């Protein structure tokens, strides 16, 4: 049975519950899901400083979960921005899936251009940078912040559909863990197709979890000061990464 470790990089238990419910709904009973919440940082991540702290927090949360016996086959970063993704791969040697990267790549597999939307101007800047990193600039027609869209699903759907039509986009990638509860209604009411990047991320994580693990890496090992005991052990190499143990699904 595949095992997923889901990490919420912000400190909101309410958001963690929303993410956990979505992952379990998408994954089904044949997948084991463990969701953990960052123990320090911001309740809502809305700045580059908050993202930097969140990256540390996800490393710490993963190290703590593994030290306590978690043996995930893949890790999901429960944030539409993927703080610490590459560092988490380096530290654990496991497949790590971020909602943002998974959603962008899933949309790129479909025909035609698409737009990306979330809440927060700074997030839009960082998502635009991720678009370029993934070499998807020729596919993404715009990245939009939804401050003017309102909070109700129909208003969000109308706002984003108008933006998509203005630039000739075939679909919308709408992300943000805080938006998860509203997404089903947005998808149902939007005249332009909306892709849920969170569910795309879960599906990708399951595929990776069942197709074999990444090779271990030792690039993050070294002497540290001031880190949590679990993170200190992870970087010292005194804890055997879970991927080095044999796995039976």
Average pLDDT over residues 85-109: 96
Nearest partner of 108 among 139, 129, 81, judged by Cα: 139
Please report the pLDDT score of residue 52 as a whole number.
98
Question: What secondary structure, in 3-state letters, does 112-149 show?
Answer: CCEEEEECCHHHHHHHHHHHHHCCCCCCEEEEEECCCC
pLDDT bucket at 247, cuts 50 / 70 / 90: very low
Closest CA to 107 of 189, 170, 13: 170
Of 243 and 188, which is predicted with more confidence? 188
| β-bridge mates for residue 118, sequence order | 145
Q: How many residues does the chain have?
A: 249
Contacts of 2 (CB under 8 A, 6+ apart): 30, 31, 32, 73, 74, 206, 209, 210, 249
Closest CA to 194 of 138, 239, 156: 156
CATH number at 100-196: 3.40.50.12500
Residue written as tokens 């569910």? 199
Is pLDDT at 209 greater than 60 in this prediction?
yes
Q: DSSP secondary-structure letter at 56?
A: H
pLDDT at residue 243 is higher than 90: no
Query: Are 143 and 86 contacting, i.e. CB atoms less than 8 angstroms apart?
Result: no
Distances (CA, A) of 62 to 38, 49, 59, 127, 209: 9, 20, 5, 24, 16
Q: Where are the domains of the chain?
A: 3-98+202-244, 100-196
Does residue 63 contact residue 241 with C-beta atoms inside 8 Å?
Answer: no
Q: Is the fold of 3-98+202-244 the same as that of 100-196?
A: yes
Cα–chain center distance at 103: 9
Closest to 56 (Cα-Cα) out of 243, 224, 246:
224
What's the chain's average pLDDT?
Answer: 92
Assign domain 3-98+202-244 to a CATH class.
alpha beta
Question: Any idea which of 41-55, 112-126, 174-188, 228-242 has the lowest mean pLDDT?
Answer: 228-242
């Amino acid at each position: 049975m595949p095992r997923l470790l889901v990490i919420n990089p912000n400190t909101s238990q309410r958001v963690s519950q929303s993410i956990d419910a979505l992952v379990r709904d998408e994954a089904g009973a044949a997948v084991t899901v463990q969701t953990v919440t960052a123990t320090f940082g911001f309740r809502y991540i809305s700045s580059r400083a908050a993202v930097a702290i969140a990256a540390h927090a996800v490393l710490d949360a993963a190290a703590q979960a593994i030290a306590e016996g978690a043996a995930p086959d893949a890790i999901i970063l429960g944030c539409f921005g993927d703080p610490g993704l590459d560092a988490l791969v380096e530290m654990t040697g496991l497949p790590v899936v971020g909602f943002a990267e998974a959603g962008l790549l899933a949309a790129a597999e479909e025909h035609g251009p698409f737009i990306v939307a979330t809440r927060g101007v700074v997030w839009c800047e960082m998502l635009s940078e991720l678009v370029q990193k993934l070499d998807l600039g020729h596919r993404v027609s715009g990245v939009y912040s939804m401050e003017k869209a309102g909070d109700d699903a129909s208003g969000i759907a109308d706002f984003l559909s108008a933006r998509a039509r203005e630039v000739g986009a075939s679909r919308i990638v709408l992300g943000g863990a805080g938006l998860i509860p509203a997404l089903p209604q947005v998808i149902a009411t939007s005249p332009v197709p909306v892709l849920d990047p969170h569910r795309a991320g879960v599906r990708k994580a399951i595929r990776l979890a069942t197709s074999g693990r990444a090779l271990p890496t030792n690039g993050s090992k070294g002497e540290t000061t001031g880190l949590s005991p679990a993170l200190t052990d992870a970087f010292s190499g005194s804890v055997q990464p879970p991927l080095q143990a044999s796995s039976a699904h």
